[in-house]
């Protein structure tokens, strides 16, 4: 079997391009997954915090001003610790 220089060059270029693309892909996936993990862990921390406040009987009390947190806000953001005024 004869492999011409031309064919070799084409194969090399193709592999290089694919390599770069998949590297970019995996970098992108990595940072996406990292962002998701960070968001999830922040949310998890908030939920654990909310559960602690449930136990302590202070759930629904704004962590910033001590005022009541509106029920509809708790319904939409059950892990929220602050009222709409101080809210995150």
Residues that bind Zn ion (CB under 5 A): 62, 64-65, 67, 83, 85-86
Closest distance to Zn ion from the beta carbon of 27 (Å): 41
Q: Residue 86 in contact with residue 64, Cβ under 8 Å?
A: yes
Nearer to Zn ion, 1 or 76 (CB): 76
Report the alpha-carbon distance of residue 55 to residue 78 in Å, rounded: 15
Q: How far is the CB of 67 from Zn ion (least distance, A)?
A: 5
Identity of the residue, 8 or 65, whose beta carbon is nearer to Zn ion in the bound complex: 65
Adjacent-strand bridge partners of 61: 68
């Amino acid at each position: 079997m004869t492999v011409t220089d031309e064919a070799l060059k084409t194969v090399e270029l193709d592999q290089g391009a694919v390599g770069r693309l998949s590297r970019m892909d995996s970098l992108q996936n990595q940072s996406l997954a990292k962002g998701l993990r960070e968001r999830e862990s922040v949310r998890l921390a908030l939920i654990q915090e909310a559960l602690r406040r449930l136990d302590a009987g202070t759930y629904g009390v704004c962590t910033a001003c001590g005022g009541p947190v509106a029920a509809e806000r708790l319904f939409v953001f059950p892990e929220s610790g602050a009222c709409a005024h101080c809210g995150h």
